[in-house]
Amino acid sequence: MEARRKAEEEILQPSWASSKGMKLSEALDKMYLEKWSQQKDDSGVRQRVGWVINKFNDPYLTEIEPDEIIKALKEEKPNISPATINRYLANVQTILNRAKRKWKVLRDVPLFEKLKESEGRVVVVSEEEEVKILRWLADNGFVEEYVLTVTLLET
């Protein structure tokens, strides 16, 4: 009975799950194959998570502390905006959430408290840009979006 249980555990658990767990670089590669490879531009994600991997010597997922990431980013990049820090955190948090929920290699995910961001920018669209946007929507079959955009531009 005991031998059968051990054999089942070996089959169900990957080899890395028996030690400290999965490293962030392994998780990034796995996440890339499962999800991010379908994105048009994944370079930002790989760059941000790669920075965390390099800065913290490829930590195990269980060793990741969001506050330490924030602290290191602010020290290394003094002019970094809260929005940029939040992007780093969001990428790491996405990996950790998948590690817990789908891969079942993590018991707990630390609390990721996002930094307060500025209100953002107000962008004014020129008449020439309006025409280009509306033409593109019409030419590509976005009828509902076309009607909504016209309504928004006229109010």
Full DSSP string of 69-102: HHHHHHHH-TT--HHHHHHHHHHHHHHHHHHHHT
Q: Per-residue DSSP letters for 144-155?
A: HHHHHHHHHHH-
HSE (CB half, 13 Å, CA atoms) of 71? 6
- How far apart CA 109 and CA 49 sit, in angstroms, is 16
- How far apart CA 135 and CA 129 sit, in angstroms, is 10
Structure-token pair, residue 89? 């955190």
Residue where the block lists tokens 């392994």: 26
Query: pLDDT tens digits for 88-117?
Result: 999 999 999 999 999 999 989 999 999 998
Structure-token pair, residue 39? 């994105």
So what's the pLDDT on residue 5?
63
pTM: 0.66
So what's the pLDDT on residue 155?
78
Write out residues in the chain with pLDDT < 50, as ranges: 11, 15-16, 18
So what's the pLDDT on residue 20?
75
So what's the pLDDT on residue 68?
97
